[in-house]
Amino acid sequence: MKKVKIIVMRRSVYPDLMEQYENPMEHSCDMEIGQIFIANGWEKPKGLCNAAWECMSNFVMTLAHGGGNFYDGWMKNEKSAMISCNDGFRPVSFLLEALDEDSE
């Protein structure tokens, strides 16, 4: 099974939506642009947000098993995917890439 690199590519924040709809939060997302996680199959990497993992885990598992080419050519690199978490107030975009070496 291949390992999958998960890179935090972009963070967005929508203060207008937060002010209008969200209850105040003491702690929100702490992902940093450029932060890298390595997934070993179905195992969520330590420190990765649970909600983000739920959004990407099916893609990670597919890449870990050698699959790819999501949505018939969506990505230039067939062994990758660009996935965002489902936080409508502060979405984070992650690049997933299958690594060439197999895990042990």
| CA-based radius of gyration for the chain | 15
Tally of domains within the chain: 1
d(CA 79, CA 97): 6
Question: What is the predicted pLDDT for the residue at 52?
Answer: 96
Q: What is the pLDDT of residues 71-95, one digit of tens each?
A: 999 999 999 999 999 999 999 999 9
Domain span at residue 54? 2-102
Question: 13 by DSSP, 3-state: which?
Answer: coil
Q: What is the pLDDT of residues 14-63, one digit of tens each?
A: 999 999 999 988 777 889 999 999 999 888 999 999 999 999 999 999 99
